[in-house]
Amino acid sequence: MRVLEHLQPKAVFSYFEDLCGIPHGSTNMKAISDYCVAFAKEHGLSYIQDEMYNVIIKKPAAKGYEDAPALMIQGHLDMVCEKDAALTELDMSKTPLELAIDGDYIYAKGTSLGGDDGIAVAYALAILASDDLPHPKIEAVFTTDEEIGMLGAAAIDLSSLEAKLLLNLDSEEEGIFLTSCAGGVTAACRLPVQYESCEGISVTLSVDGLLGGHSGGEIDKGRGNANLLMGRLLNRIGKKAGFRLAALGGGLKDNAIPLSCRAEVVTSDPDTVKAVAEEYDAILKNEYKISDPGVAVKACIKDTGAVLALTEDCTRRAVCLLLNVPNGIQAMSMDIPGLVETSLNLGILTLDDKEMTMSFAVRSSVRTAKEAVVERLYSLTEALGGSVNLSGDYPAWEYKKDSRLREIVVEAYRDQYGEEPKIEAIHAGLECGMFSGKIKGLDCISLGPDMTAIHTCKEKMSISSAQRTWNLVVEVLKRLKNY
């Protein structure tokens, strides 16, 4: 039995449930892309599917709208896959999400939901499938791997499109319309390491219980970054007990604030290591009592004997780098009160047999400020014998003072809700910036229904908000006849 089949608009929630039934984490794109192609074929619509599995589907204008400007409706196909291992054993790369409803909210049991950005795709498919909605020519663009650097948007060829108007449906707060966004880049700091056999007692360290969240939209919440907190713990231990680092890892996505981090150290003084961890647990519970009340630091004494671990010098350099890398908010906007201008997030920390790697999502609405943060990463990492690799560089979406599309959306919102919407900028990457760089003079706006805790296992989407947002989108389509 389908969970959402009783919800209205039926088409929107039916397509959303279909999408949730297809594993579609970043880089796992073929199945969901093929679903969109099959949809286009079923409805007799023209389509393009490229090597990145981006999909473009075109639908002619409804009768009477032939002279209205074409509209691009856009969302991304991938989702951030997060799960709570204590609640589910579900393999998100192979198994459908387990949807559930709690009052006004849809969620997935034990995992992230993927409302970001499955609802956008569902809206677009419902419009493309309709036979009674008034609308201009629709060019639906579904991109891939947005959550790991907007890779699909960077690669997609938009030369076949007619549209100069873009309705992006990748926002998560109803009544807040986004009109500009930060640019960004993924920076991977790599520190070569060497191992040797050493005698001692192994101790497993953990930092858990953090709330995490989106590294753009929630970077200003003051939440703890498990990877950075582990760096502090290792440094504190090093002051009181000698140790070698044997294992280290935390975080799954560079654009998600990491919830937990694990380390294994080899020491001759495990009792001191455990005492420092207990002391640090109390410190963090005090520091993060508001933002992360569930934070917990634990130490578990394990085996005794010969263990393969980093050399003393490599351990020192690894801890130094982890302790001193910049992270979090670097500057607030002087133009828009309350807007974060520049930040970075250490989202993924790994240690393998060759190197320690730290992957950052760097963001800024000012290109040169973004470059300055990257220069700091280069300087520190190279001073310790490492290197930095950049990928997924994308431009900022600059505010357009005169936007007829924005006027139409605001007027439609005002008439539907009886109040004024908020017009804001966002400290996160949106594909509008990428598309604006590809299509000269593109007029963009971004909107969406209420969602909470995106990119986490507590993600929820409001049913009533999704319904109202659908009504707003339908009204905007209707009003574009008078653009």
Instruction: Show which residues are catalytic.
Output: 78, 146
- Quick one: the chain helix, strand, coil %, rounded to 5? 30, 30, 35
Contact (CB, 8 A) for 363 and 370: yes
Contact (CB, 8 A) for 302 and 202: yes
Bond preceding residue 102 cis, omega within 30 of 0: no
Nearest CA among 460, 259, 274 for reference residue 345: 259
Whether the CA torsion 344, 348, 351, 355 is positive or negative: it is negative
Please state, as a whole number, how many other Cβ atoms lie within 10 Å of the Cβ of residue 354.
12
Q: State the DSSP string of 224-253.
A: --HHHHHHHHHHHHHHHS-EEEEEEEE-S-
Give the list of residues 6+ apart from residue 371 with CB closer than 8 angstroms, or none.
none
Please state, as a whole number, how many other Cβ atoms lie within 10 Å of the Cβ of residue 326.
15
H or E element in which residue 205 lies: strand 195-208
d(CA 257, CA 359): 12
167 by Cβ neighbours in 10 Å (0-12 / 13-18 / 19+) ranks as buried
Q: What does each C-alpha distance from 125 to 11, 141, 157, 389 come to in angstroms?
A: 8, 11, 21, 38
Whether the CA torsion 27, 188, 434, 97 is positive or negative: it is positive
H or E element in which residue 426 lies: strand 422-426
Exposure on the CB side of residue 421, measured as CA atoms within 13 A: 27
